[in-house]
Structure 1
Amino acid sequence: MEQKTSSFDRVLGAWDILVIAFGAMIGWGWVVSTGTWIQDGGILGAAIGFLIGGIMIFFVGLTYAELTSAMPQCGGEHVFSHRAMGPIGSFICTWAIVLGYASVVCFEACALPTIITYIFPGFLQGYLYTVAGFKIYASWLAVAVGMSLLMTWINIRGVKAAAKLQTILTVIIGAAGILLIVASAITGSVSTLAPQAFVGEDTGTTIKAVLAVAVMTPFYFIGFDVIPQAAEEIKVPLKKIGSILILSVVCAVLFYALVIVAVGLVLTGPEILASENGTGLVTADAMAKAMNSATMAKVIIIGGMCGIITSWNSFLMGGSRALYSMAESYMVPKFFAKLHPQYKTPVNALYLIGFLSILAPFAGRKMLVWIVDAGNFACCVAYCMVAVSFLILRKKEPDLERPFKVAHYKIVGGLAVLMSGFIVALYVIPNSGATLVWQEWLMAGGWAVLGVIFGVACKRKYRERFGLLVDIISNEDAVALQSSDEEISVALDRAIDDAIDKILAERNLTPAS
């Protein structure tokens, strides 16, 4: 293990890391997918499904909270899994999470110009070609590529600049969501909600419908784990980091559940179905009816647009830090460990993920849906490995200082492993409803092969340094260590001088002047 002080600037406060995590979890789904959730589980059924899914993520989040407070280093999962499973386990875990983050960044690059077409129907100009049934337009590509360049530039300028952007956009998302919830509570009616509260004619069918929503929900909560990636850039007490991580999960769960109920208070079943078959923006149509203004629908759309950018921003931040941590351990080319001389950001890692987000729009949305599904699968694999690492380290390093310490760790860790493992299994088991299609397996497999190539090449090049875990120590510890080294050096010099003087004295000689 190698020790060094952090090369990052500690600039993120408590509010910064809360909005980074919350903004990552609240993307565009609450605007475009609410109608689907309601049709699958009913209003209350879908809301309960999100609460159940939130509980599943809550247990995984607890393992992250403890490990992050105990090992506040850039890379998060990379460090946790390395301490528990060694370099091979760490490589698999971190490489998986990089795929997850990069896939979301690529998808958001396509989602943003797609939203603009909802606001400005005449936006699509300059037809170029079609990919898997999706038409690519010059105006669509220009916005996607331009925004990719801007987001990469903002992140290179420093994590604080990215956090400021995140704060502004998250406030807009929260304001739009709260406005919908309040307006629906005032103008809506329980009589509208009651007939569509649940799906199914009997208790068994209803429970299955609720669970179907619950199983899907963890995919909308991916993002809280960005906090461990930027741990070296956080300047709050370690115990507080864990608490904020858990708070971000709770806030996201409540946001989703309340938005679903708000829609059900305003729109009837037939209206939701008509909205799904029309614009597909059920949440926006609910706002229009609640406020009795078609213009207000665009407030929700703008909120969703901000959600795209916050997710994009967070995952660009998290993916670059994960790649940087692998390069620091000589698992991928050291090229990716370079920090910007002025802004102290992993500039080459940001260039790579930013470049992928520039290329992605040229492939169209269908291919990116496959990439995101493969990325979600990879994220869930990483979650399961972190939960296992949590249990291993409680046994392997019981005396490790844990500022945020989880009570009943066996129960919490066991549930986290089972729940995340269950989600992974759903991706693998045929006819589970979430099974990856062959295109998605091809992408996940291709990423795995690329990882093997990187791993083998770096093992040959760096030899015994491959998988070297870098332990970050504080500046105070570094000063103390340096002082200790100097004291040892002085003591050794004195001992050598005394030994020489003794030998000379025994031979009746005097030291040479």
Structure 2
Amino acid sequence: MSAAAAPEPPLRRGITGPGYFSLAFGTIVGSAWMVLMGEWVGPAGPGGAIIAFLGMTLLMIPIAAAYAELVARVPRAGAEFVFVEKAIGPRTGFVTGWFLTLYYVGITAFEGLALSWFLEILVPSLGGMTPLYSFLGKPITALDLGVGLTGAVAITLLNMSGARVAVGFQKIVTFGFLGASLLLILFGCVRGDPANWQPMFESTQGRSFAGGLFVMLGVAGMWLSGFQTAASAVEERAPGTSFRTVARAMMIAVGVAAIFYSLIILASSSLLPWRELTSGALPVAAAFDHALPGGLATRAILVVAMASLVKTWNAMHLSATRVILAQARAGFLPAGLAHIDAATGAPRRAALLVGMWTGIGVLAGRGAIGPIISMSTMCTTAIAVLALVALLRLRRAERDAPAPAFVFSGGTPALVAVILGAAVVASAAIATPFGLAPGMPVEIWLMIGWVALGSALVAMRKLLARAPVARLA
């Protein structure tokens, strides 16, 4: 007789409302505000950027509410992968899950690369190392590899310890970041001069204000995304934590992120004429240094940005692990990746795989930062549209079933309007790389390679399934 395999233990439940908020907000607000401030105020001035971020919440909060209904209908780890697989089918589900994995792993690699960059600015004596090699036109030093790979190991060990530990860490860093950010914003507003905001509504890029505002609406949609990480961990809700709590956490995270972006734009552009923010590598640090010379402001901003980066890294690693777990459960990836450790209640093998892939991404160096951001943006915006279409199909297929514990209000017309809005954002994200450089963008080649790897894994999985298996008598 063959020995029956023991069932896998469940994921350990323990995430409460604050934990889901910290996952959602911690992913939305990373370190981009530190680097991209000039790109935010350039198209339509500081006033246009604030209008774009606050206005885009009118689309992103309903999208978060739609996701909340999806997790109530399909309360399993894996977020968009399990939604799309159930509503549309396994093939589309696999493509969704595979590119969702690329998005999460790409961002974890980006965080490792950005962390070494910020550390080099914070401690200038670490710079000037002899490059070990070059890739994508950028040198890679021992600092890049040391910081990135050490961070990858630390975040992997944290996530292998279970969701309670990883999300507990996430809450400490997220709420600490919010407190420190509030102090920085208050300092900027007190020491700044509102005259530096003028003219608040003007483009520096040769566009009309209306054209610049349209560009910024697309940018705001991209940088208010990320709340989906809360959906990936819905299977680990603590007893007594309702789907409505998860919904509120995601929607509040979007609103708080939009307010944070708006206030940091106001604070930075009040400290020096805002047009000066459109040049330089770290415009926010430059603005605060103008009010507090001596480098103290830069160091404070960098420490806050590095803390923000770590919380995003942790949330992305956790979400990538759950997506890999879900794909293994569905049979697309090796079954061993669906293993749950009995002691921690965590998918430790999946977490280890994410850490290994993150390390490979770190080896690509800082030249990969631009392609990673562009590739990840294309993935997440397109997948959001698929997830919303999945909700529409699930509603139709389950129209006679009892209503889920949370329902996105507004009916089908409101949902279709949200889908159209998300499609516009996704179209802008996909089209942008083709307009920035001649020829095929690097990120497209990376995505083609990722498709080839996924296809090879599925083919190998099918081949192994057909092979004869020795059984114990």
Amino acid at match of 2:398: E
The aligned residue for residue 418 of structure 1 is 420
How far the C-alpha of 1:432 sits from its partner, in A, is 6.8
How far the C-alpha of 1:459 sits from its partner, in A, is 4.3
Q: Specify whether residues 430 and 350 from structure 1 end up closer, same or farther in structure 2 by C-alpha distance, changes over 3 A only.
A: closer
State the SS of the aligned residue for 2:72.
Answer: helix
Distance in 2 (alpha carbons) for counterparts of 1:144 and 1:453: 28
In structure 2, which of residues 138, 161, 174 is the aligned counterpart of residue 134 of structure 1? Answer: 138
> Does 1:182 find its partner at 2:186?
yes
In structure 1, which of residues 90, 99, 107 is the aligned counterpart of residue 93 of structure 2? Answer: 90
State the SS of the aligned residue for 2:133.
Answer: strand
Q: 1:413-452 alignment to 2 at 5 Å?
A: 413-429=415-431, 433=435, 437-452=440-455
Distance in 2 (alpha carbons) for counterparts of 1:368 and 1:288: 26
How far the C-alpha of 1:126 sits from its partner, in A, is 4.4
In structure 2, which of residues 9, 17, 20 is the aligned counterpart of residue 17 of structure 1? Answer: 20
State the SS of the aligned residue for 1:401.
Answer: coil
Distance in 2 (alpha carbons) for counterparts of 1:268 and 1:21: 33
How far the C-alpha of 1:321 sits from its partner, in A, is 0.2
Distance in 2 (alpha carbons) for counterparts of 1:430 and 1:149: 34
C-alpha contact (below 8 Å) 1:162/1:313 kept by paired residues: yes
Q: Specify whether residues 430 and 144 from structure 1 end up closer, same or farther in structure 2 by C-alpha distance, changes over 3 A only.
A: closer
Distance in 1 (alpha carbons) for counterparts of 2:76 and 2:421: 26
- Deviation string, structure 1 residues 225-265 (Cα, Å, up to 9, x no partner): 01111111111112211111111111111111111111122
Q: 1:300-311 alignment to 2 at 5 Å?
A: 300-311=301-312
The aligned residue for residue 470 of structure 2 is none
How far the C-alpha of 1:326 sits from its partner, in A, is 0.8
C-alpha contact (below 8 Å) 1:426/1:433 kept by paired residues: no
The aligned residue for residue 193 of structure 1 is 197
In structure 1, which of residues 73, 76, 85 is the aligned counterpart of residue 76 of structure 2? Answer: 73
Q: Specify whether residues 334 and 210 from structure 1 end up closer, same or farther in structure 2 by C-alpha distance, changes over 3 A only.
A: same
Distance in 1 (alpha carbons) for counterparts of 2:118 and 2:22: 22
Distance in 1 (alpha carbons) for counterparts of 2:78 and 2:100: 10
C-alpha contact (below 8 Å) 1:384/1:416 kept by paired residues: no
Distance in 2 (alpha carbons) for counterparts of 1:34 and 1:335: 44
Q: Specify whether residues 270 and 251 from structure 1 end up closer, same or farther in structure 2 by C-alpha distance, changes over 3 A only.
A: closer
Once the two structures are overlaid, the 10-residue window that deviates more, 15-24 or 436-445, is 436-445
C-alpha contact (below 8 Å) 2:69/2:404 kept by paired residues: yes
Distance in 2 (alpha carbons) for counterparts of 1:431 and 1:317: 28
C-alpha contact (below 8 Å) 2:45/2:199 kept by paired residues: no
Q: 1:195-214 alignment to 2 at 5 Å?
A: 195-199=199-203, 205-214=208-217
How far the C-alpha of 1:208 sits from its partner, in A, is 0.8
How far the C-alpha of 1:175 sits from its partner, in A, is 2.2
Distance in 2 (alpha carbons) for counterparts of 1:113 and 1:271: 26
C-alpha contact (below 8 Å) 1:82/1:89 kept by paired residues: yes
- Deviation string, structure 1 residues 156-206 (Cα, Å, up to 9, x no partner): 01111111221222123212321222123323232221224432799x810
Once the two structures are overlaid, the 10-residue window that deviates more, 304-313 or 288-297, is 288-297
Q: Specify whether residues 326 and 118 from structure 1 end up closer, same or farther in structure 2 by C-alpha distance, changes over 3 A only.
A: same
- Deviation string, structure 1 residues 46-80 (Cα, Å, up to 9, x no partner): 11122233333223212101111232211121221
Distance in 1 (alpha carbons) for counterparts of 2:433 and 2:354: 33
Distance in 1 (alpha carbons) for counterparts of 2:291 and 2:411: 45
How far the C-alpha of 1:396 sits from its partner, in A, is 1.0
How far the C-alpha of 1:31 sits from its partner, in A, is 1.1
Q: Specify whether residues 18 and 430 from structure 1 end up closer, same or farther in structure 2 by C-alpha distance, changes over 3 A only.
A: closer
Q: Specify whether residues 173 and 351 from structure 1 end up closer, same or farther in structure 2 by C-alpha distance, changes over 3 A only.
A: same
Distance in 1 (alpha carbons) for counterparts of 2:263 and 2:301: 15
Q: Please, which runs of 5 or more residues in structure 2 have no aligned partner? A: 1-6, 467-473
In structure 2, which of residues 251, 264, 268 is the aligned counterpart of residue 259 of structure 1? Answer: 264
How far the C-alpha of 1:428 sits from its partner, in A, is 4.4
Q: Please, which runs of 5 or more residues in structure 1 have no aligned partner? A: 464-513
Q: Specify whether residues 434 and 322 from structure 1 end up closer, same or farther in structure 2 by C-alpha distance, changes over 3 A only.
A: farther
State the SS of the aligned residue for 1:357.
Answer: helix
- Deviation string, structure 1 residues 70-113 (Cα, Å, up to 9, x no partner): 32211121221122112122212222211111110111111101
Amino acid at match of 2:343: Q
Distance in 1 (alpha carbons) for counterparts of 2:381 and 2:458: 22
- Deviation string, structure 1 residues 287-325 (Cα, Å, up to 9, x no partner): 334456641332111111011111110010001100100
State the SS of the aligned residue for 2:113.
Answer: helix
How far the C-alpha of 1:400 sits from its partner, in A, is 4.3
Q: 1:21-420 alignment to 2 at 5 Å?
A: 21-124=24-127, 125-199=129-203, 205-235=208-238, 236-269=241-274, 271-273=276-278, 276-277=279-280, 280-290=281-291, 294-398=295-399, 399-420=401-422
C-alpha contact (below 8 Å) 2:122/2:299 kept by paired residues: yes
C-alpha contact (below 8 Å) 1:426/1:434 kept by paired residues: no
State the SS of the aligned residue for 1:403.
Answer: coil
Identity %, equivalent residues:
23
How far the C-alpha of 1:372 sits from its partner, in A, is 3.2
Distance in 1 (alpha carbons) for counterparts of 2:433 and 2:311: 33
Amino acid at match of 2:62: F
C-alpha contact (below 8 Å) 1:200/1:209 kept by paired residues: no
State the SS of the aligned residue for 1:127.
Answer: coil
C-alpha contact (below 8 Å) 1:43/1:193 kept by paired residues: yes
State the SS of the aligned residue for 1:135.
Answer: strand
TM-score normalised per structure 2? 0.90
TM-score normalised per structure 1? 0.83
Q: Specify whether residues 411 and 300 from structure 1 end up closer, same or farther in structure 2 by C-alpha distance, changes over 3 A only.
A: farther
State the SS of the aligned residue for 2:139.
Answer: strand
C-alpha contact (below 8 Å) 2:9/2:341 kept by paired residues: no
Distance in 2 (alpha carbons) for counterparts of 1:5 and 1:129: 44
Q: Specify whether residues 397 and 144 from structure 1 end up closer, same or farther in structure 2 by C-alpha distance, changes over 3 A only.
A: same
Distance in 1 (alpha carbons) for counterparts of 2:380 and 2:390: 15
Once the two structures are overlaid, the 10-residue window that deviates more, 34-43 or 291-300, is 291-300
